[in-house]
Amino acid sequence: MLTPRTLGIGSAIAAGAAAVALVFATQTAVQATSSPELPESTPIAADSTDENAPEKAVEVAKPATVAAAYDQLSGAEVEYVRFVGAQDPAFTAGVDVFGEAGLQFLSTDVAEPQAYADGQRRLISLYYDYATNETVSMIVNVTTGAVESVERASSSQPAPTDAETSLAWEMLLDSELSQPLTDEFASLTGGSYLTPASAEVLLTAHSFVTDAGSFGAESCGVDRCVQLLAQVDGGAYLTTSAYVVNLSTGAVLSVS
């Protein structure tokens, strides 16, 4: 795996349903649920980089005021539950997208309050463990500051984070398969050279899971794979559909 770079590791992926159950999505973000009479919670991933993420802090203070069970997220409590989660042995035993110790953070959202009767504030965080190719769900009780449950699911692929997307883009452009993209970008921009930092490109991605009609990425779905979308200057898209980046193995694949 590549060495860590200063990449944002948060992305807005919501997780909902019963707090004691895992809820995952394939190729799409999981949507939060709430009571009909209340506004939907807005997933927040506190902005950070791999180097200064809350998981790596010496200490993160508990929010001075603990929100009510149904309140929307705040950045402060997301940072707090990320720090609390990082103290759990399940976190430290994992491996992130860069091959370093610690689970890869994906997102945090409000755990379903209706699953509990005590009215305490709980958040649910999703992580990915590149050591085992499992998605990990962790419930943290903000009221008590304790990790209440950790559950794992294999063959489950939530939408990629900004960090995973950026890393996959770098890997694709560094690969021997990138020349057609470089040529296409030059044609669209009047000769500009394509780099991971090219300002003309708006980059998004989705998780890739192989099916009976696709060939060349048969392990994707078990492995963590990303397919990129690269829009140039708000117009045409580069032809990235022929490529898949396997973040679990570090391979760039040609698919058909």
Note the pLDDT of residue 30: 29
pLDDT by residue (tens digit) across 45-59? 455 656 778 888 899
DSSP three-state, residue 185: helix
Does the structure show a pLDDT above 60 at 2? Answer: no
Per-residue pLDDT reduced to its tens digit, 212-252: 888 999 999 999 999 999 999 999 999 999 999 999 999 99
- Predicted pLDDT at 6: 38
* b (16+ CB within 10 A) / e for 66-90: bbebbebbeebbbbbbbbbbbebeb
- The residues of the chain that CATH labels 3.10.450.40 are 1-158
In this prediction, residue 46 carries a pLDDT of 54
From residue 149, alpha-carbon distances to 22, 53, 144, 189, 201 in Å are 11, 22, 13, 51, 40
**Radius of gyration for the chain, computed over Cα atoms and rounded to the nearest angstrom:** 19
Q: Which fold has domain 162-254?
A: Nuclear Transport Factor 2; Chain: A, (3.10.450)
pLDDT at 211 over 80: yes
pLDDT of residue 13: 32
The secondary structure of residue 243, as a DSSP letter, is E
Q: Is the pLDDT of residue 7 over 80?
A: no
Fold assignment, 1-158: Nuclear Transport Factor 2; Chain: A, (3.10.450)
Q: What percent of the chain has pLDDT over 90?
A: 71
More confident residue, 15 or 134: 134
Output DSSP code: residue 196: T
The 10s digit of each residue's pLDDT in 98-142 is 999 999 999 999 999 999 999 999 999 999 999 999 999 999 999
Q: Is the pLDDT of residue 72 over 60?
A: yes
Mean pLDDT (the chain, rounded): 83
Contacts of 114 (CB under 8 A, 6+ apart): 35
Largest interatomic CA distance in the chain: 62
Rounded to two decimals, the pTM is 0.80
What is the rounded distance in angstroms from the CA atom of residue 137 to the CA atom of residue 80? Answer: 16
Determine the pLDDT at residue 214.
87
Say whether pLDDT at 147 is over 60. Answer: yes
